[in-house]
Amino acid sequence: MGAMSELHSAIAGRLEQAFAARGFAEPGVAELRRSAEVSLRTLYRYFPSREAMVIGALEHRHRRYLAFIAEGSPPPGEAALRHFFARLRDWMAEVSPNGCLFVSALAAHPDSRAVRAAVLGHKRETREALGRLAGRPDLADTLFLLHEGATAAWPFLGGEAIDSAEAAALKLMTGETP
């Protein structure tokens, strides 16, 4: 996911917030322009279509999420995995209480190859990051499934979803059967 200029990033961040607050179907371009706090001309200069606005918001969210999760992480291993789940709990409570923005984007734009590519890129990098954090690339797929289950269950179970995913992940790390 490519680098952005400061203004491009600021607009993408405001678009991310607009989509997180209103969903992907609801806000029209006029509302997105107001949320971005720029002229329509400037908005279209950086994001030439509504689809590009969605992708820009997702790319911004992707960078924020990976940075948030990695912040303060200890070296790979069990402590890093515990840290990850603590950070995931904070992210879900503070940033994403209604569930995963990427899943919502894909549901709202099922026929968009570009949106699908952005979502798949985010999910792939998240899966790889989990393997690195655990120091166990062989567990990346399983840890990713626990991550996805926890984020999907968050709106219904809250912290219990994170606790259950963390307990299963730690059992995997020690070789126990979850």
Average pLDDT over residues 65-81: 95
Average pLDDT over residues 65-82: 95
The one-letter code for the residue type at 152 is: A
Domain boundaries, the chain: 6-174
Tens-digit pLDDT profile for residues 136-156: 999 999 999 999 999 999 999
> Which CATH architecture best describes the domain 6-174?
Orthogonal Bundle (1.10)
Average pLDDT over residues 91-112: 95
Tens-digit pLDDT profile for residues 46-63: 999 999 999 999 999 999
Please say if the pLDDT value at position 37 is more than 90: yes
> Which pLDDT score, from 0 to 100, does residue 3 have?
54
* pTM attached to this predicted model: 0.91
Please say if the pLDDT value at position 2 is more than 90: no
Q: Give the residue ranges of DSSP H helices in the chain.
A: 6-22, 29-36, 40-46, 50-70, 78-94, 101-108, 113-134, 140-157, 159-174
